[in-house]
Amino acid sequence: MQTIQHLTVAADQVGQRLDNYLLSRLKGLPKSRLYRIIRKGEVRVNKKRVKPDYRLEIDDVIRIPPLRLATPNAKISPNEKLIALFEKSIIFEDKNFLAINKPSGIAVHGGSGIQLGVIETLRALRPQQKFLELVHRLDRDTSGCLLIAKKSSILKELHELLRTGGDIKKTYLALVAGHWPSSLKKIDVPLHKNQLQSGERIVRVHESGKNCLTEFHPIQSFADTTLIEAMPITGRTHQIRVHAQYAKHPIIGDEKYGDKSANKKMRELGCKRLFLHASELEFYLPSIEQRFQLKAELPPDLNHCLKHLSEKKD
């Protein structure tokens, strides 16, 4: 790409984040480089500076500067084992969207050395489906309920629900260090997101950040940990993880915001990854006048961990 390019957003691309849109089109461009050119204003939408999480609108004109792109690798297709895993992970599907119980360890989309993510695998699984886009994200190590839209109109409607905090309820299960007090029912502190040059995101509690609210409810206490429900009212990056850290009860297995000694102890007891699971998603879609309540069962590895803790407690 030796010259400036201008791309116009089509109807089926409305609602996508700018960074995701560009990552899918600028194959071979390092993720860190992409965020740098957005931050410096070299990428513009309708001649204006925008942030990576800007949601595209129809007929937006995106300016892309001259770039040197690496030669893309040959397209990688999911193997039979991965396809079988995803077929088994689908918990709901109709003509508007599908929902999967995302396995831990799989990113929602490719990039930064990850060749296959959830969306690439599902597109390979449903080659006849012309439109498949992520409605929201889950961290790579987080398992649970993930929505994928089959229509741009549904994508836009669900994005609006998530943006405004409308008639939508998200529930997560998490195992945290220590004994979570029953009196601590919510945490309402602002979060500020920093983008490192490597592309890694670090979130901290800071007064200059965006308002952020999470409701918490302890379910079961063990010797040194507590199983809790977490309901994020807002939808910030790493919200539950950082709020749990702020409460001095970080999530077990969290290598970024957690407690190293607690994580090491729990690894010895069989909990070898982030214990955070999107267990339930409930929402109402006005366009089709239908309410959905989707549940993603706790995966075997986390169930095994809870069983081991219960036996140890007894």
CB-side exposure of 245: number of CA atoms within 13 Å? 18
| Lowest mean pLDDT segment, chosen from 30-39, 167-176, 181-190, 250-259 | 30-39
Average pLDDT of the chain?
88
Q: What is the pLDDT of residue 232?
A: 94
Q: Are 97 and 149 within 8 A, CB to CB?
A: yes
CB-side exposure of 126: number of CA atoms within 13 Å? 21
Average pLDDT over every residue of 108-134: 81
Q: pLDDT tens-digit profile of 259-296? A: 999 999 999 888 899 999 999 999 999 999 999 999 99
Beta bridge partners of 277: 143, 173
Q: Where are the beta strands (DSSP E) in the chain?
A: 5-8, 44-45, 61-64, 90-93, 97-102, 133-134, 143-149, 168-177, 186-188, 191-195, 201-205, 213-221, 225-232, 276-285, 290-295
Q: What is the pLDDT of residue 306?
A: 93
Checking if the pLDDT of 38 tops 70, the result is yes
> Which domains, ranges and CATH numbers included, belong to the chain?
5-64 (3.10.290.10), 80-149 (3.30.70), 165-312 (3.30.2350.10)
Q: Hey, what are 3's tokens?
A: 């010259």
Q: Please state, in angstroms and as integers, the Cα–Cα distance from residue 110 to each residue in 24, 28, 200, following that order.
A: 9, 12, 15
Q: What is the pLDDT of residue 74?
A: 53
Q: Annotated active-site positions, please? A: 139
* pTM over cut 0.85: no
Q: Are 161 and 291 within 8 A, CB to CB?
A: no
Q: Where are the beta strands (DSSP E) in 87-142?
A: 90-93, 97-102, 133-134
Q: pLDDT tens-digit profile of 200-232? A: 678 999 998 899 999 999 999 999 999 999 999
Average pLDDT over every residue of 47-73: 85
